């Protein structure tokens, strides 16, 4: 048989099968690549900013309309939360060096102070915009999407340059950032270029003409500056955002970023507008507990600086995101636990859980879960406590929050697992079964 003769039947069948699989794979691939955009859910008609006739949803709020460029830049820098990632633990703000521990290595954030050698002091406006919009640095090197440029891409040039102006007003800090420690193939920057082509829209913000100005402002803040999706929207196998499940929750730096869709049980649908606003601006709302981990940082470093109208805009926008019910997150239990430690917990819990709780936790959280000390410490109704994985409870115990000390150093993995299980069993809707091993893994994932 020569090489060009017709293949035999079985081979043909095989080839057809292969082609079928390829086609399916391709379809699946395009299904992901061509998935909806972050604001597609809203429908209506989108227009370019130039063609939008409502109040400009971008820029600074009206309170700062007449402020200097630096003041505006400062506000926007905070809104974009640049400091959270570009500051090492205990390090100088914006001097970079914070490590992001990923399964395939650690990425360190860049020094974005205007230092000419180690920072961005020599960057032109164009290279700054390139970095924010395209994920390419001044030397043409592709950034890892740990830098949320797929969100920042919708930021206006004016806002991005105001941020740059602010950053350039800071004291230059000479700080060499450590090299990333990624393994092959993740250390291949070029791949990031491919990723970018596929998953970064490289489009500036387009208001939705059918929605209110407030909604559009909220959309700009939430999608571009605050980049909420980066944590709260699950990702595809290619690490792009899966907007089909927008805001349905994901895991970030070891913490669960919860479902913030309008679903009444697993999302924030049952929260009042006032509670949402309070939580966003202060990291706390009675009955919903306190923000910890990355959300705590987002509040501390970014959201708490937003003016009330901007917070209200974000709330409006959040409210419009369609409800997605996630079965792993039941509606939080609203009733306090019994006043006596003797009641209220399933029989088969690890006795160390009670032991840790009575020593380190009960003083503040109370045996009922309603804090005798401050509503910041009330556990009843809190999402994390009603998360049957107990991941965020364990993370909170390990790392603490603004109000709560961190217990990670003083307590063993087993103890932390035991107390997390005790807390979910006592105060939550269903008890967790987290283990010391799980806690060890959580410790490793924390950024440092």
Q: Which of 32, 49, 209, 364 binds other proteins (CB under 8 A)?
A: 364
Q: How far is the CB of 351 from other proteins (least distance, A)?
A: 10
Pick between residue 356 and residue 391 the one whose CB is nearest to other proteins. 356
- When binding is defined by CB under 8 A, the residue of 209, 270, 331, 362 that contacts other proteins is 362
Calpha distance 331→335 (Å, rounded): 12
Tokens, residue 409: 């150093």
Q: What angle do CA 372, 373, 376 make, to 5 degrees?
A: 105
Residue 70 as a binder of other proteins (CB under 8 A): the answer is no
List 204, 352, 383, 426, residue binding other proteins (CB under 8 A):
352
Dihedral over Cα of 22, 198, 294, 263: its sign: negative
Q: Which member of 258, 407, 422, 427 binds other proteins (CB under 8 A)?
A: 407
Measure the CA–CA gap between 183 and 201, rounded to whole angstroms.
Answer: 27
**How many angstroms separate the CA atoms of 216 and 47, rounded?**
11
Question: Which of 360, 388, 429, 448 touches other proteins by CB under 8 A?
Answer: 360
Q: Does 341 bind other proteins (CB under 8 A)?
A: yes
Site size toward other proteins (CB under 8 A) is 28
CB of 19 to other proteins, least distance (A): 51
Residues 75-94 interacting with other proteins (rule: CB under 8 A): 90
Q: Looking up tokens 């990632």, which residue turns up?
A: 85
Gap between the Cα atoms of 400 and 388, Å rounded: 20
d(CA 120, CA 186): 24
Kindly state the tokens that stand for 96: 């970079």
Q: From the CB of 368, what's the least distance to other proteins, in Å?
A: 11
Instruction: Give yes or no for a contact between 429 and 379, defined as CB atoms under 8 angstroms apart.
Output: no
> For other proteins, which is the closer residue by CB, 186 or 305?
305
Take residue 320 and report the two structure tokens written for it: 């419009």
63 and 229 in contact (C-beta within 8 Å)? no
Closest distance to other proteins from the beta carbon of 234 (Å): 33
Question: The dihedral of CA 332, 335, 336, 337: what is its sign?
Answer: negative
Query: According to the binding rule CB under 8 A, does residue 14 interact with other proteins?
Result: no
Is 406 a binder of other proteins (CB under 8 A)?
yes
Q: Interacting stretch for other proteins, rule CB under 8 A, among 57-65, 211-219, 248-256, 351-359? A: 351-359
Which DSSP category does 435 fall into? Answer: -
Task: Answer yes or no whether residue 172 interacts with other proteins by CB under 8 A.
Answer: no
Cβ nearer to other proteins, comparing 307 with 364: 364
Stretch that binds other proteins, among 17-25, 145-153, 379-387, 399-407 (CB under 8 A): 399-407
Q: Say how many C-beta atoms besides its own lie within 10 A of residue 139's C-beta.
A: 6
Does residue 56 belong to the site contacting other proteins (CB under 8 A)?
no
Point out which residues bind other proteins (CB under 8 A): 90, 341, 352, 354-355, 358-360, 362-364, 367, 372-375, 377, 400, 405-412, 414, 436
């Amino acid at each position: 048989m020569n090489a060009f003769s017709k293949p035999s039947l079985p081979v043909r069948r095989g080839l057809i099968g292969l082609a079928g699989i390829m086609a399916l794979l391709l379809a699946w691939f395009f299904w992901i690549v061509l998935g909806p955009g972050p604001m597609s859910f809203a429908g209506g008609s989108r227009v370019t900013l130039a063609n939008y006739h409502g109040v400009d949803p971008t820029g600074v709020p009206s309170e700062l309309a007449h402020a200097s460029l630096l003041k505006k830049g400062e506000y926007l820098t905070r809104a974009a939360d640049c400091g959270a990632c570009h500051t090492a633990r205990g390090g100088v703000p914006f001097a970079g060096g914070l490590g992001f521990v990923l399964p395939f290595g650690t990425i360190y954030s860049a020094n974005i102070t205007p230092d000419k050698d180690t920072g961005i002091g020599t960057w032109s406006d164009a290279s700054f915009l390139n970095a924010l919009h395209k994920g390419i640095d001044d030397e043409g090197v592709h950034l890892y999407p740990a830098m949320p440029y797929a969100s920042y891409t919708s930021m206006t040039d004016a806002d991005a340059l105001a941020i740059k102006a602010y950053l350039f007003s800071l004291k230059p800090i000479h700080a060499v950032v450590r090299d990333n420690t990624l393994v092959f193939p993740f250390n291949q920057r070029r791949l990031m270029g491919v990723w970018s082509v596929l998953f970064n829209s490289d489009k500036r913000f387009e208001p939705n003409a059918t929605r209110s100005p407030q909604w559009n402002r909220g959309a700009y803040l939430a999608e571009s500056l605050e980049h909420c999706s980066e944590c709260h929207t699950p990702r595809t196998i290619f690490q792009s955002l899966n907007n089909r499940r927008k805001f349905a929750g994901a895991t970030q730096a070891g913490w669960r970023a919860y479902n913030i869709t309008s679903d009444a049980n697993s999302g924030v649908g049952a929260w009042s507008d006032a509670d949402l606003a309070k939580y966003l601006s202060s990291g706390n709302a009675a009955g919903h507990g306190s923000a910890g981990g990355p959300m705590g940082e987002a509040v501390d470093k970014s959201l708490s600086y937003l003016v009330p109208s901007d917070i209200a805009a974000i709330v409006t926008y959040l409210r419009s995101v369609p409800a997605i019910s996630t079965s792993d997150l039941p509606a939080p239990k609203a009733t306090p636990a019994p006043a006596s430690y003797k009641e209220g917990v399933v029989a088969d819990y690890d006795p160390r859980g009670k032991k840790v709780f009575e020593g380190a936790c009960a003083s503040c959280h109370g045996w009922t879960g309603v804090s005798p000390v401050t509503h910041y410490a009330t556990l009843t109704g809190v999402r994390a406590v009603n998360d049957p994985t107990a991941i965020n409870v364990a993370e909170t115990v390990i790392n603490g929050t603004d109000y709560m000390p961190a217990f990670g150093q003083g307590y063993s993995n087993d103890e932390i697992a035991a107390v997390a299980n005790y807390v979910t069993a006592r105060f939550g809707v269903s008890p967790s079964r987290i283990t010391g091993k799980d806690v060890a893994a959580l410790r490793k994932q924390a950024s440092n």
